[in-house]
Amino acid sequence: MSYSDPQSPLIRIEVDGAAHPVPEGITVIQAMWQIGRPMIHGVGCLGGVCGACPITYRLPNQMASKTALACQTAVRDGMAITFIPSDSSKKAIAPIPNDPPTQKTLFQYYPETRRCTACRACSSVCPQEIDVMGGVRAAINGELAAVAEKFTTCVMCGLCAAVCEVQIKPHRVGMYARRLTGAFYPKEATGLLQRIEEVRAGKYKSAWNQILSADEAALSNYCRSDENIVNDTRIEKT
Amino acid sequence: MNRLEESKELVGETRAARMKENWPLLSQQDKDALIRRFHPDYKKEAYRTIQVGPNAGEQTVHELADLLEGESPVAGEKIALTPHHQVDLLILGGGGAGATAALTAKAAGAKVLLATKLRLGDSNTVMAEGGMQVAVSAEDSPVRHFLDSLRGGYMKNDPILLKTLVEEGPEVAKWLMDLGVLFDREADGNLALRGGGGSSKPRLLRCKDYTGLELMRVLKDCVLNEQVELLEFSPIVELLTDGAGACTGAILKNLDNSQYIVVQAKTVLLATGGIGRLHIQGFPTSNHYGATADGLPIAYRAGARLTLQDTFQYHPTGAVYPEPMAGILVTEAIRSVGAQLVNVKGERFINEMETRDAVASAVIRECAEGRGIETPAGRRGVWLDMPMVDIINGEGTLAHRFPNMLRQFSRYQIDIRKEPVLVYPTLHYQNGGIKINVDGESTVRNLFVAGEASGGIHGRNRLMGNSLLDIIVYGRRAGRAAAKRATEIGFGNLTLGHLDRFHEAQKKAGVEPKAVSPMLFPDYVKKN
């Protein structure tokens, strides 16, 4: 299966010190296949959500190296690429407590969070452009819901933890804050709870008996008689 | 201005008129005719008869048939079947179904080993965007959910599997929320619901357009918290059986040192996922790199029956431009909030909320009949008019509700708030798979299956949002049932007797294996 337009002009990239010609307009992962590398580590969903493929790269005449996800980054002429092993930062055994979390709950498992020096390195490397440092600061202030919101799009690549000079694991902190926020959501989903009760109480039993004892023709008619309402939700009201 | 740009302008020009149109749903007859004419499942030359094994005489696509009749990678290898690990339950696959099963079985007291091809969490689950169907609103019910799914599946769903799926939906949603999954909520605390194609009521629970990522992050965190024993980069390459029809373990391969790992297990659970990376009929795919149907040939050689192995879901809206995004999914939820499909002339051609098979067929029809738009790399597609979403629902809707979509296209300087994007069907889901009962057990004793590798729940066409539900409901059921079984039995003998039998059957049928299976990875490496 070809991933490149045969008409594409060739550009040069550098991988682990060696230069390779590759077609323009492909992603860094696709370029690895082009230069003959089968990928096992450093590749995942190919859709920018699994965090398996962080890279650091440098462009010609640029001092600073940049970070990105290889499956979401197009190759550029002169790009020097290094793959970064996917995250192996320490994962605290941080269970969801029985009682609602306090400001200390998170620090119990991630005490280093408080040492943030506000250097902003974490935010600068995030391929999802999350305000990582803002999330860490919110965690320090005990604003768990704000942390949760900030880390909504986190792909857990761990680049933030890799660059933190005081060993904070922002993505892990974000994950734990999200789980605490979800598990102790301030308002009940009453509709859901009611439906669970209805199922338990056997509210649908007779309907099921009728359906499961029907032959295919009867069931088919039953389904079709219901059909006129399928269009109700075409445009959702927000 | 080239043809592509001209056509793009047309989309903007016809928008106001299109927004007033009420496009009717197709009659069942017209829908059947459309699908039979254009859906890839009806392309005869793409199919052949399976010649050997439990489904011999039935049809599937060439790509899968070759794997089912393929050679085992351990055939001819001298592997000492002395176990490196002994466990109650061996789970193969670290996606949503595998992780859920691991948590459930561990909670039930089982000794669990979870082995996976790449990393824990690397799966199609993580990529699911749209949501998870659960009937929770007052005007909805599990029965309605059942009927919608049955209709969507062309009445070919296993009724008991489907009833169990929809009825346990509310309970598993609560389980996930207790683990800390943050579904979008209404101001009153109720779950925010969205509509999906083929569903008569809004019942999609979601976390923006990162629902699968949210589920997988939490499940993965739980598996790590529970310290489930893990073997990453260690895919299954063959099952082990006792010679009397029961599964007793598996052979894994460590991808880093190429060593085989023998696992003796009282029960084995395949949660190996889907099939997209086979690129059936040359389609691009929305699937994860590892989605190569590994569980199917492995289970098949051990004697497991498949069901509905001839039907696949081509998601109507895979990106076709820019080229690096080819195959990437544009979530159906975008259509459910108003985005229309538009051909080269700026015209609509289908009600966007038809089931996926009908919408995909209509897109293929437009392109086949010359009303598609060609990309510079030679792909064809139709427009998905996304700017409509903000016009209908208010500015900021795309940014707030679909941050993933916005980000992915913006990486290639395409602003979906301002311009339409080109889409074409992308191979998305294996509707069928390994036949299971309501406890997730296959026709091979002590071999369980959960998630996309299994078949029967979704009939011939899965509704949006039913797969995230499937992996959780059946991950739990299979994990629980396998853990219970493990308390009732001891370890069995480790043999490859099933391979000998399969080889004999191949010889008898005159089948020459065309491939080694499982495939493990697609071969994208350029050959010089």
Q: Predicted confidence band at A234 (pLDDT cuts at 50, 70, 90)?
A: very low
Same domain, A111 and A177: yes
pLDDT for the residue numbered A6: 56
Asked whether the beta carbons of residue A91 and residue B224 sit closer than 8 angstroms, the reply is yes
* pLDDT tens sequence across B429-442: 999 999 999 999 99
pLDDT for the residue numbered A24: 87
**Quick check: is A113 in a domain?**
yes
User: Kind of pairing, strands A80-83 and B47-49?
Assistant: unpaired
Nearest beta carbon to residue A33 from set B188, B351, B525: B525
* pLDDT tens sequence across A74-97: 999 999 999 998 877 778 899 999
Least CA distance to A28: which residue of chain B? B324
Cβ–Cβ under 8 Å, residues A63 and A35: no
User: Kind of pairing, strands A80-83 and A54-58?
Assistant: antiparallel
CATH number at residue A46: 3.10.20.740
User: Which residue stretches of B69-109 are H helix?
Assistant: 96-107
Q: Given a cut of 70, is residue B86 above it in pLDDT? A: yes
SS3 state of residue A232: helix
Q: What is the DSSP letter of B421?
A: E
Note if B335 is an active site residue: yes
Across chain B, mean pLDDT equals: 95
The overall pTM is greater than 0.80: yes
Residues with Cβ within 8 Å of A213's Cβ and at least 6 positions away in sequence, in order, are none
The mean per-residue pLDDT over the stretch A2-27 comes to: 82
Q: Given a cut of 90, is residue B3 above it in pLDDT? A: no
Least CA distance to B24: which residue of chain A? A231
Nearest beta carbon to residue A152 from set B210, B353, B412: B210
**Quick check: is A97 in a domain?**
no
**Contact residues, chain A, for B173 at CB < 8 Å:** 192
Asked whether the beta carbons of residue A189 and residue B177 sit closer than 8 angstroms, the reply is yes
SS3 state of residue B147: helix
**Quick check: is A167 in a domain?**
yes
Per-range mean pLDDT, top range of B15-24, B330-339, B468-477: B468-477
**Quick check: is A211 in a domain?**
no
Least CA distance to B172: which residue of chain A? A196
Q: What is the DSSP letter of B329?
A: B
ipTM: 0.93
Cβ–Cβ under 8 Å, residues A105 and A188: no
Same domain, A134 and A72: no
CA distance A206 to chain B (A): 11
Residues with Cβ within 8 Å of B93's Cβ and at least 6 positions away in sequence, in order, are B116, B117, B123, B270, B271, B272, B273, B295, B451, B453
CA distance A71 to chain B (A): 8
Same domain, A176 and A107: yes
Asked whether the beta carbons of residue A236 and residue B155 sit closer than 8 angstroms, the reply is no
Q: Given a cut of 50, is residue A228 above it in pLDDT? A: no
Asked whether the beta carbons of residue B126 and residue A50 sit closer than 8 angstroms, the reply is yes
Element spanning B388, H or E: helix B387-393
The mean per-residue pLDDT over the stretch B505-513 comes to: 96
pLDDT for the residue numbered B157: 97
Same domain, A79 and A150: no
Asked whether the beta carbons of residue B151 and residue A227 sit closer than 8 angstroms, the reply is yes
* pLDDT tens sequence across B346-394: 999 999 999 889 999 999 999 999 999 998 888 999 999 999 999 999 9
pLDDT for the residue numbered B196: 83
* pLDDT tens sequence across B243-294: 899 999 999 999 999 999 999 999 999 999 999 999 999 999 999 999 999 9
**Contact residues, chain B, for A4 at CB < 8 Å:** 323
Which residues pair with residue A84 across a beta bridge? Answer: none
Same domain, A107 and A146: yes
The mean per-residue pLDDT over the stretch B220-232 comes to: 97
Task: Write b or e for each residue in A139-173: b if 16 or more Cβ atoms lie within 10 A of its Cβ, otherwise e.
Answer: bbebbbbbbbbbbbbbbbbbbbbbbbeeebbbbbb
Domain range enclosing A132: 103-183
The mean per-residue pLDDT over the stretch A54-60 comes to: 96
Nearest beta carbon to residue B182 from set A73, A95, A182: A182
How many independent structural domains does chain A possess?
2
Cis, bond preceding B322 (omega within 30 deg of 0): yes
**Quick check: is A202 in a domain?**
no
CA distances from B232 to B255, B272, B288 (A): 9, 13, 16
* pLDDT tens sequence across B428-482: 999 999 999 999 999 999 999 999 999 999 999 999 999 999 999 999 999 999 9
CA distance A182 to chain B (A): 4
* pLDDT tens sequence across A160-202: 999 999 999 999 999 999 999 999 999 999 999 999 999 999 9
Domains and CATH numbers, chain B: 3-38+313-427 (3.90.700.10), 85-252+261-311+431-501 (3.50.50.60)
Phi (first) and psi of residue A6, to 5 degrees: -60, -20
- Nearest residue to B463 (alpha-carbon basis) of B336, B337, B276: B336
Asked whether the beta carbons of residue A186 and residue B189 sit closer than 8 angstroms, the reply is yes
The mean per-residue pLDDT over the stretch B39-65 comes to: 98
Boundary (domain end) residue, out of A83, A115, A138: A83
Same domain, A78 and A126: no
For the four alpha carbons of A92, A45, B238 and B309, in that order, the dihedral sign comes to: positive
Q: Given a cut of 90, is residue B404 above it in pLDDT? A: no
* pLDDT tens sequence across B176-214: 999 999 999 999 999 999 888 888 999 999 999 899 999
Does A50 reach chain B within 8 Å, measured CB to CB?
A: yes
Nearest beta carbon to residue A192 from set B25, B126, B170: B170
**Quick check: is A124 in a domain?**
yes
Q: Given a cut of 60, is residue A226 above it in pLDDT? A: no
Boundary (domain end) residue, out of A151, A167, A183: A183
Across chain A, mean pLDDT equals: 90
Does A179 reach chain B within 8 Å, measured CB to CB?
A: yes
**Contact residues, chain A, for B125 at CB < 8 Å:** none
Percent of chain B beyond pLDDT 70?
100
Q: What is the DSSP letter of B311?
A: -
Instruction: Please report the residues numbered 99 through 128 in chain A whose beta carbons come closer than 8 angstroms to any beta carbon of chain B.
Output: 128
* Location of structure tokens 């509905």: B308
CA distance A125 to chain B (A): 16
Residue A91, judged by CB atoms within 10 A of its CB (0-12, 13-18, 19+), counts as middle
SS3 state of residue B90: strand
For the four alpha carbons of B105, B109, B112 and B118, in that order, the dihedral sign comes to: positive
CA distance B492 to chain A (A): 33
Asked whether the beta carbons of residue A226 and residue B200 sit closer than 8 angstroms, the reply is yes
Least CA distance to A90: which residue of chain B? B224
pLDDT for the residue numbered B332: 85
pLDDT for the residue numbered A19: 96
**Contact residues, chain A, for B374 at CB < 8 Å:** none
Asked whether the beta carbons of residue A226 and residue B195 sit closer than 8 angstroms, the reply is no
Cβ–Cβ under 8 Å, residues B114 and B105: no
**Quick check: is A236 in a domain?**
no
Q: Predicted confidence band at B528 (pLDDT cuts at 50, 70, 90)?
A: low
pLDDT for the residue numbered B129: 85
Cβ–Cβ under 8 Å, residues B94 and B122: yes
Boundary (domain end) residue, out of A35, A55, A83: A83
Q: Predicted confidence band at B1 (pLDDT cuts at 50, 70, 90)?
A: low
pLDDT for the residue numbered A43: 96
**Quick check: is A123 in a domain?**
yes
Residue B412: count of CB within 10 angstroms of its CB: 16
Phi (first) and psi of residue B302, to 5 degrees: -85, 0
Amino acid, res. B208: K
Q: Given a cut of 80, is residue B2 above it in pLDDT? A: no
